[in-house]
Amino acid sequence: MSENLFVDHTVESAPAASRRSMQATITHLGYLPAPVARLAASPQLLEGFLKSSGLFEASTLDPVSREVLILTVATRNGCHVCVAMHTAKLEALGVGSDVITALRDRRPLPDERLEAVRVFTLEVLASTGAVGDTAMKAFLAPGYTPQNALEVVLGIGAYTMSTLANRMTGAPLDEQLKPFAWDEPAA
C-alpha cells in the first residue's frame, strides 16, 4: 500500500522546498537514491535527515564507529536500504567481512572497540537513554568519551528517522546497492 502513496519524485516533480536537498544529494552521490526521491514528499523530513546525518558525520566518532552505529540501527529497525548502503560504506572503509557479516547478522563483533559501540547503541535504545554506570563504563573503556556517548544519541536520532521513513515509504533498493542486498535474519 505505501508504494502507491509515496512516489519517486524527480527534482522537477518534488515540492519546491525539497529540490535543493535533492540536488545536493545528486551532486554528492552522483545519482538520486530512491529513498531520497520518496522522502522528498516531506521537505522538512528530508532536510532534517540530511542535516542531522551531516552533523553526525562531523562528530568526533571515527568513521568506522559511526558506520557500526548506523548498521546497528538499520538492522535493528529492519531497513534493507540502509543496511545495503552502509554495508557498502563499511567495505569502502576497508572493514573486514567478519565485522560486516556479524553486524548484518546482529551478532557480537570480533573487534572489542567496535563491539562497544554496537552494544552501547543497543543499550541506549533499550533504556531510552537511561544507560547505567556499567554500560557507560563499558563504552568508555576502549577509549570512547562522554562526548562520543552523546554523539551516539545523535546518530541514533538521525538513522532512526531514516530507517523508519524508508520502511514507511517502501523505498526500493537502488541498482548501485543490489550487490549489498540484505535479508533480515530469522528471529
Run means of pLDDT, 10 residues per run, the chain, 187 residues: 78 96 94 95 96 97 98 97 97 97 97 98 98 98 98 98 96 94 86
Give pTM, 2 decimals: 0.94
Q: Where are the domains of the chain?
A: 52-180
Structure confidence at residue 1 (pLDDT): 46
DSSP assignment of the chain equals: -HHHHS----TTTS-HHHHHHHHHHHHHHSS--HHHHHHTTSHHHHHHHHHHHHHHHTSSS-HHHHHHHHHHHHHHHT-HHHHHHHHHHHHHTT--HHHHHHHHTT---SSHHHHHHHHHHHHHHHTTT---HHHHHHHHTTT--HHHHHHHHHHHHHHHHHHHHHHHHTPPPPGGGGGG---PPP-
Domain 52-180 CATH class label = mainly alpha
